[in-house]
Amino acid sequence: MILLRIIRRYLTPFKFLYLLFIASILIEVGYAVAAPLSLKYLVDYAFVPKDGQAFILILSLLVFSGLFNIAAGASGDYLVAKLSGYLLRELRIELFSKLQRQSLDFFSRHRVGDITTRFNSDLLSIERVIGAIFPLGFKEGITVFLGLGLLFSLQWKLALAVLIGSSLLFIGPRIIQGKAETANRVVKEAEGDFASTIDESLKGHKTIKGLHLQEILIERARKQIHALFALGLRKNFMNSLLERIPMTSLMVLNAIMIGFGGFLIFRGELSIGEFVAFFTLFMSVGQSVFHLTFFIPAMIESNISFERVSELLDEHPTVSDVDNPVNMLPLVDEICMHNVTFGYGDGPDILKNVSFHIPAGSFATFVGSSGSGKSTALQLLMRFYDPREGSITFDGVDLRKMSEKSLREQVGVVFQDTFLFNATVRENLQMGRSGITEEEMIAAAKAANIHETIMAWPQGYDTPIVQEGASLSGGQRQRLSIARSLLRKPKILLLDEVTSALDPSTEGHINQTIEGLKGTTTTISVTHRLSSIVHADLIFVFHDGRIVEIGSHKELLDLGGLYFEMWEKQAGFSFSLDGMHAKVDVRRLGKIPIFQGLEKEPLLHLATLLTSETYERGKMIVREGDEGDKFYLIARGSVEVRKQFPDGDRRVAVLQEGDHFGEIALLKNIPRTASIITTETTVLLSLRREWFLELTKDYPQVMEAVEQTLTQRMN
């Protein structure tokens, strides 16, 4: 039984207290059983013969042992409170530590709501069992056991009759027990589902609003709440039945006892004192049985909680330290991937036979289309996952042989999705590091271009960050997390789209900071904004899980391959300093398929009709089904394309800088075929149909060109 396993596991160091607790229980049980037995002597030796001396003797014994019993009971209560407190403390610590040590795949396998339910309601239910139900059940169990022995010694025939009657009467609850167990499990799962929905609706409120998914979420929650109601009803009914049946059974048993007991008295096989003692003892045993059966639903419920908690305790991280791991030393030579193949879980290969060398101190970047495996490669360098095939080495040492702690000390990482703790700015920056001076902290904040912003807040570095930084802008969060990483002075710095939420001037500043790290820090940055990496030492171009080009910006442009194509697509845009307004040059405009082949003059005119639109992350630009009246060109940022399918809406593509959408809207008023949502701060250039049509009056060839291209595309 999991309960006993847990008790053994956590209470072994407290053996002495545990033995004391058992002793106190035995005293209590002894009294509970012996007190009714005293009635036999009171009735047969004191009351019936009217013997005063015997009465006083028995009474004194009863009073004395009663006081002793009270003292033992109180000590037992204290001990159980202490032991259960210890156990829960240890369980909580181990559970939480287990959670922290899990590999990344664990977090994609488990939903937040499900894990938090295990910490909240499951642990509460365990607390109830360990602190009250189990000790009381244990006590009642021994009472029943000893009490039955005494009942048999008083009158075995009567005891046997009562026992047979009881066994028959307990068959009912046994049958219901299985059903109750299933009902309890199903309710727990439904609670987990609902908790996940609440969690999702809170964390994803922006996306939900942006995609206008409120109704879908309400509908989903409504279904879950209805299911909870129906399942809860069944569970409560089953549990009540379990509780009710023993009471009824007890009444039937009383009838058996009085009837058969009376019969034995008349036959002279039972004295009146014995009958009174038997009856009282039976009531006491019956009460204990009743309590025991009362505890059964709670035990069943808790058994599921025990299972769910021990499931977590038994989870072993898929990525863990080997025995005797080596400590990673500061990088002096190179970071290498050797023929690495990797996929998530049992999924397809995402990285296919990837190899590269990055010299220490250099600034390297991973570029490529969305989904080509750049972030995955970065995560492997962090050892969030281990490769399926091949190896990763830092200065020739396999990552799998290094201690995780030393790796994390050497490697800093900044993700696109930054997470800030609910603590002050200072605490967030210094988190996990001691001995950081004020100057160092300010220098890091300045390097990340966030110092001035922090100083403008009323409490400066002591400003509390609330709701995990939800009140800050995406750019502020990103800059704070860059500062946090810089402050740790890592030898290797891994950056995943860290400047996506920044305006061009701030981005320029951060890029300078990153370039300034050359020589002292090995930096590997994943980005889709090629203008930010022209000074990188090495650029790795990813395509469909493979590296297809390697070189410097110039070398790759000269190569005229995929990188060149990407560069050409992104080139030709210019921005205002705050990044809110964009312009596109005529050469670039003429490369858009629908405008290809147009003369310079109409293109110049066209460029003046484009309007800048800036959106924060998570905003819906186009809603599937809405009337389309604009064509869009992405000047900066990226968007996802989502479509409705019978099983819900799904991302079907990601569009990035230089991509465009909505061409058909220039010609016809037809509903949009997909929704477009920004995945980062995005600047678009839009062209309204009415203005475009106006233009075509002066340049009819524009209309012809657009129509021709679109017709070709449709065909």
Where does this chain touch ligand ATP (CB under 6 A) — which range of 92-100, 309-317, 373-381, 584-592?
373-381
Interface of this chain with ligand ATP, residues 519 to 538, rule: CB under 6 A = 526, 528
Fill in the per-residue mask, 28 to 57: x = in contact with ligand ATP (CB under 6 A), - = not in contact. ------------------------------
Q: Which of 197/375 has CB closer to ligand ATP?
A: 375
Stretch that binds ligand ATP, among 239-247, 275-283, 370-378, 658-666 (CB under 6 A): 370-378
41, 344, 384, 564: which one binds ligand ATP (CB under 6 A) = 344
Residue among 113, 368, 474, 475 that touches ligand ATP (CB under 6 A): 368
Q: Which residues of 222-258 are buried (b: 16+ CB within 10 A; e: fewer)?
A: eebeebbeebbebbeebbebbbebbeebbeebeebbe
**Which candidate, 678, 450, 416, places its Cα nearest to that of 527?**
416
Contact 654, 639 (CB under 8 A): yes
Identity at 639, one-letter amino acid code: V
Sign (positive/negative) of CA torsion 347, 353, 357, 358? negative
Q: Which helix (H) or strand (E) holds 454?
A: helix 451-456
The one segment of 344-352, 432-440, 469-477, 707-715 that binds ligand ATP by CB under 6 A = 344-352
**Distance of alpha carbon 8 from alpha carbon 4, whole angstroms:** 6
Least distance in Å: CB of 645 to ligand ATP?
Answer: 17
Count of residues that bind ligand ATP according to CB under 6 A: 15
The two three-digit tokens of residue 699, written as one number? 């340049």
State the Cα–Cα distance between residues 526 and 519, nearest whole angstrom. Answer: 19
- The rounded Cα 74 to chain-centroid distance in angstroms is 42
Least separation, in Å, of the C-beta of 361 and ligand ATP? 24
Helices (H), 267-383: 272-313, 374-381
Cα→Cα distances 715→104, 661, 710, Å: 45, 18, 9
> Both tokens of residue 394?
């830092």
Closest CA to 406 of 302, 331, 504, 456: 331
Which of 370, 463, 552, 612 is in the footprint of ligand ATP by CB under 6 A? 370
Least distance (Å) between residue 373 CB and ligand ATP: 5
- Please report, as residue ranges, which positions from 572 to 591 form the binding site for ligand ATP (by CB under 6 A): none
Structure token digits, residue 101: 């040590």
**β-bridge partners, 543:** 546
End-to-end CA distance of the chain: 68
Among 95, 159, 309, 350, binds ligand ATP (CB under 6 A): 350
Nearer CB in complex with ligand ATP: 185/617: 617
C-beta of 368 vs 590, nearer to ligand ATP: 368
Q: How many CA atoms lie within 13 A of 90 on its CB side?
A: 15
Among 375, 430, 481, 614, the residue binding ligand ATP under the rule CB under 6 A is 375
- 374 counts as binding ligand ATP under rule CB under 6 A: yes
Can you spell out the DSSP letters for 179-203? HHHHHHHHHHHHHHHHHHHHHHHHH
Are 253 and 5 in contact, with CB atoms under 8 Å apart? no
Cα-trace Rg, the chain: 37
Stretch that binds ligand ATP, among 61-69, 239-247, 264-272, 367-375 (CB under 6 A): 367-375
Q: How far is the CB of 656 from ligand ATP (least distance, A)?
A: 8
CB of 655 to ligand ATP, least distance (A): 11
Q: Which two tokens stand for residue 337?
A: 């991937």
Q: Which of 371, 390, 561, 593 binds ligand ATP (CB under 6 A)?
A: 371
- According to the binding rule CB under 6 A, does residue 387 interact with ligand ATP? no
Among 60, 108, 574, 669, binds ligand ATP (CB under 6 A): 108
Binding mask 628-657 for ligand ATP (x = CB under 6 A): --------------------------x---
Decide: is 593 part of the binding site for ligand ATP (CB under 6 A).
no
For residue 612, what are the CA distances in angstroms to 231, 452, 649? Answer: 53, 28, 28
Site residues, ligand ATP (CB under 6 A): 108, 344, 347, 350, 368, 370-376, 526, 528, 654
